[in-house]
Structure 1
Amino acid sequence: MTESLEDSPDAGLMGSIAELGGVSTEALRLLLTLMAGYPIAALYTKYVADLPLKMLHHVFFFTCGAGLCYFNYGVGTYHSLLGILVTYLLVLFLRQNIKLLIGLNFAFHMTYLLLGYFYTSSNEYDILWTMPHCILVLRMIGFGFDISDGLKSNEALSKEQKETALPQVPSLLELLAFAYFPSGFLIGPQFPMRRYQNFINGDYRRHEGNVEAGMRRLAAGVFYLIVCQVGLSVLPDSYFLSPEFAKVGFIKRIYLLGFWAKFSLYKYISCWLLTEGALIYIGFTYKGTDEHGEPDWSGCSNVKLVLLETGNTMEHYVQSFNVNTNQWVGQYIYKRLKFLNNRTISYGAALGFLAIWHGYHSGYYMAFLMEYMVVSTEKQITNFYDKVVLPRYGNFLNSSDVYKILYFATLKSYNIVYMGWCLASFVFLKYERWIVVFEAVNYYGFIWLLIWAAFYQSYLYLSRFGGKSSADATGGKKTQ
């Protein structure tokens, strides 16, 4: 598939432009596809939006989306077409057998995706057909759940399920248009079929302000893209695998890794902002009204910029980054495991699913393991601080301006430094690469987590040994 693209008539032109911009041809195609969402939105608004025949709307979006997919992946487009067709056939023939439908649909898509990773993955983040296919996998799995929810009584559904349940089976054309929606098929965001149907029905078009909001998001995306390119040109990935990095002073090393992580994050954020801007521009993302009674166009936002830039914990990063995917996992994986009656197991299973969904690289599993460990540690530290430190020293600490400055500086430093540690394995993927980075920074991420764990467990033990309840440090629950 890649060879066929390179041999195409425009490969020379695309290659020349990509080389001039210092990016790969695949990355240039991706960027052009993201930007194509804006003219497509303008064409739809002017010529298609008011057409009464819904089939024409579906044809427009399917044609545009599938065409862009072919522009990026050539004949590799058949992978997504096959996945959509299989889901549609499963729904047609197994709709009345909910468990079998959900199980087969889930197993097929995850197996197909993992086989795709197995045959195509390399040491880098690959821009291949598997990239949009992982988006499609979540969309088709969610679609299967929504179809099954449509067969249940209204009383048996949660609030979220009521908003996404599908009592009627859409046509194949409608499913294709939903799956290939031009500004959503490539890198997300995730959204349910019901949102697409509401949009086609014109439920969002009566609201104003989408064009201006879309342009603001586009400007933000361009800004983050420029910062990303400049930052990674100063701190390229290769630098952190070099002997030169390991020779830098330790404090400087961990801060450099932290700033590199911010620039690396901006690569994803800029792409999400660009695609979100196109979705807003076309009027797809209506969420209701804000506190001022104005239309809220953040319904498909994949990043919370204010929280991302002002947050000071890893949990803030989790809450502000890849928002729609996290919401999807929460709705279709975490909450569907409620029958286990154990939040820790459900949370671990959700993170495990996310890691598997990303691929086989050990770096993904290390990154999500670190997320679980760091967020859990943060909650322990917060409980200890709120329940033990503040009751004893709160009056002094809250009245000290010096302490407030130190507190802010400490949290910000932690935020920068630990972001570098947590993201390293996610970017470098292969064990042979990310372990080099971990070694270069003396494994500080593991060491500090272990120091805290030893202190915290010792505190709990001494509290119990002294006949005291450990409720202070565990949020009010006594240790049995």
Structure 2
Amino acid sequence: MQKETASPNAGLVSNLAELTGASEPALRLLLSILAAFPIAALHRLFVRKFEPLLQHIFFATCGFLLCIFNYGFDSYHSVVAIWITYLLVRLLHHAPKQLLIINFVFHMSYLVIGYIFTESNDYDIIWTMPHCVLVLRLIGFGFDISDGQKPREQLSNDQKETAITHIPSLIELTAYTFFPASFLIGPQFPYRRYQRFIQGEFHEHSGAVSAGLKRSAVGVLYLTIRQVGAMMIPDSYLMSDEFRSQSMLMKLVHVGIWGKISLYKFISCWLLVEGALMCTGFTYAGKTTDGENDWSGCSNIKLIVLETGSKMNHYVQSFNVNTNSWVAQYIYKRLKFLNNRMISYVAALAFLAVWHGFHSGYYLAFFMEYAIITIEKNVETIYAKDVIPKYGDILENSTTCKVVSFVFLKIYNIMFMGWCLIPFIFLSYDRYMHVYSTIGYYGFIMLGSFVVSLWSYKFLRKSNKTPIDSKEKTN
């Protein structure tokens, strides 16, 4: 198993990591995210008054230094990716199809080869982590350059928003790619947003700093909950004999809580990055319904939907929003020529799984996401067509029914999210199957039961339709 090794810049940070009990790579990542706040302050107070070239140099330099601080010599992987992208754009911008194919294949191949040589059984904080963010950014950049060479009437509304008609310089592309601290863990955003920001389109709008500080405060809260929760229910607990000895009910409760805590690891970091981007004045998204300035343009988490949601689809809608939007715009919608939404959706999920790595846990997690969402849609259809017409007055007007329904769905929501996260966190087959065996494979059993029940219901419903019923329906 590959172990997290100390950075070449060992010293104060390694001592601090030992003192706090955190791994050095994780601490360096957190410090780099926090460094985005003074960088934002420097830009707001001084740098944004300068010409665009100096701003590009500022962001490119800050981002590259943060990359070196985290990954040392391995930062050359990011530099190579940027230079190759720039070279491809310069050589092939008049041949959009060739540019798309070569740019896509190069970046995905480079990332996949990186996974082959570095992947272990843990969620490693090494150069492949920011590189997977960079891959999406540069692939999207290639798509936007290609769209910019097409007649505007051939583009969709989304493509019109992101199309690049003027080829950026190498320093512009570097600054966009290394924009602090989004290049480390996201979020994704198109080059046109960066361009509009540098051109000063967002500077006149107020409220960015206060919105950023509020978002960051929420991030600190989630980070605190995550750290306390991880001490109470660490990943290793689910592999332990103590967990195995618990009652089935307590196992389900622990898996549900553990799943939430695991999500908070990602959520807290994204919230902190969003806060820094807001403070920079980068995330302007227009006006809210109340006429206030909206600074949620790069938000990667919809907290209200996430915390109040009762379906698996609510997690998809609220978690890692910008990556999901990127996949929808550059993968799912680009497969429109297949004329099959199901194939496009499966292809998008397969791309996401490969983008994460080769661990079987990723593929199982995304398969279960697909299966659960498909089942939920079928249940919702049956509920709307068969249940509501008969019992809608009672179900929709009874407070008791609404409360019972919400509590039941919320329990289901938390339990199944914990179940789906097990392979995503434990990654290797032997580890996540060990946990699944400990909890009696309950998720697989429930999924199988749902599928059989749906098939049986549809079969019986179809069988109970008499010729007279069909004739009356036709009339």
Shift of 1:243: 2.1
Q: Residue in 1 aligned with 2:439?
A: 441
% identical equivalent positions? 55
Describe the shift of the 1:242–1:203 C-alpha distance in structure 2 as closer, same or farther (beyond 3 A): same
Single out whichever of 396-405 and 295-304 deviates more from structure 2.
Answer: 396-405
- Decide whether the 8 Å contact of 1:5 with 1:11 is kept in 2: no
State the distance in 2 between where 1:214 and 1:242 align.
40
State the distance in 1 between where 2:347 and 2:293 align.
36
Shift of 1:94: 1.0
Q: Residue in 2 aligned with 1:27?
A: 26
Aligned length: 469
Question: Are 1:6 and 2:6 matched, yes or no?
Answer: yes
Shift of 1:464: 2.6
- Decide whether the 8 Å contact of 1:213 with 1:281 is kept in 2: yes
| Counterparts of residues 240-259 of structure 1 (less than 5 Å) | 240-259=238-257
- Decide whether the 8 Å contact of 2:270 with 2:301 is kept in 1: yes
State the distance in 2 between where 1:349 and 1:447 align.
26
Single out whichever of 452-461 and 262-271 deviates more from structure 2.
Answer: 452-461
- Decide whether the 8 Å contact of 2:4 with 2:125 is kept in 1: no
Shift of 1:169: 0.6
Question: Are 1:310 and 2:276 matched, yes or no?
Answer: no
Q: Residue in 2 aligned with 1:159?
A: 157
- Decide whether the 8 Å contact of 2:7 with 2:72 is kept in 1: no
Q: Residue in 1 aligned with 2:322?
A: 324
Shift of 1:188: 0.6
State the distance in 2 between where 1:321 and 1:392 align.
35
Q: For 1:320-341, what per-residue CA distance to the aligned partner results, in whole angstroms no more than 9, with x for missing partners?
A: 0000000000000000000001
| TM-score of the superposed pair, with normalisation by structure 1 | 0.95
Shift of 1:26: 0.3
State the distance in 1 between where 2:125 and 2:234 align.
19
Q: Residue in 1 aligned with 2:405?
A: 407
Shift of 1:399: 4.5
Describe the shift of the 1:272–1:348 C-alpha distance in structure 2 as closer, same or farther (beyond 3 A): same
| TM-score of the superposed pair, with normalisation by structure 2 | 0.96
Q: Residue in 2 aligned with 1:235?
A: 233
Alignment RMSD (CA, Å): 1.9
Shift of 1:7: 6.8
Shift of 1:5: 7.6
Q: Which runs of 5+ in 1 are unaligned?
A: 470-477
Letter matched to residue 208 of structure 1:
S
State the distance in 2 between where 1:252 and 1:7 align.
40
Q: Residue in 2 aligned with 1:198?
A: 196
- Decide whether the 8 Å contact of 2:416 with 2:443 is kept in 1: yes
Single out whichever of 392-401 and 312-321 deviates more from structure 2.
Answer: 392-401
State the distance in 1 between where 2:323 and 2:4 align.
32
User: What secondary structure does 1:263 align onto?
Assistant: helix
Which among 382, 396, 404 is matched to residue 384 of structure 1?
382
State the distance in 2 between where 1:3 and 1:122 align.
8
State the distance in 1 between where 2:222 and 2:403 align.
29
Letter matched to residue 30 of structure 2:
L
| Counterparts of residues 108-127 of structure 1 (less than 5 Å) | 108-127=106-125
Shift of 1:400: 4.0
Q: For 1:46-82, what per-residue CA distance to the aligned partner results, in whole angstroms no more than 9, with x for missing partners?
A: 111011x211011000000000000000010100000
Q: Residue in 2 aligned with 1:298?
A: 296
- Decide whether the 8 Å contact of 1:139 with 1:191 is kept in 2: yes
Shift of 1:13: 2.1
- Decide whether the 8 Å contact of 1:5 with 1:74 is kept in 2: no
Q: Residue in 1 aligned with 2:102?
A: 104
Letter matched to residue 36 of structure 2:
G
Q: Residue in 2 aligned with 1:474?
A: none
Which among 448, 453, 456 is matched to residue 454 of structure 2?
456
- Decide whether the 8 Å contact of 2:56 with 2:172 is kept in 1: yes
Describe the shift of the 1:124–1:59 C-alpha distance in structure 2 as closer, same or farther (beyond 3 A): same
- Decide whether the 8 Å contact of 2:4 with 2:124 is kept in 1: no
Which among 210, 220, 224 is matched to residue 222 of structure 2?
224
Q: Residue in 2 aligned with 1:189?
A: 187
Q: For 1:285-306, what per-residue CA distance to the aligned partner results, in whole angstroms no more than 9, with x for missing partners?
A: 0010101111100000000011
Shift of 1:403: 2.6
- Decide whether the 8 Å contact of 1:5 with 1:73 is kept in 2: no
Letter matched to residue 41 of structure 2:
A
User: What secondary structure does 1:207 align onto?
Assistant: coil
State the distance in 2 between where 1:227 and 1:382 align.
34
- Decide whether the 8 Å contact of 1:272 with 1:302 is kept in 2: yes
User: What secondary structure does 1:6 align onto?
Assistant: coil
- Decide whether the 8 Å contact of 2:7 with 2:70 is kept in 1: no
Q: Residue in 2 aligned with 1:47?
A: 46
User: What secondary structure does 1:186 align onto?
Assistant: helix
Q: Residue in 1 aligned with 2:359?
A: 361
State the distance in 1 between where 2:224 and 2:355 align.
29
Describe the shift of the 1:399–1:44 C-alpha distance in structure 2 as closer, same or farther (beyond 3 A): closer
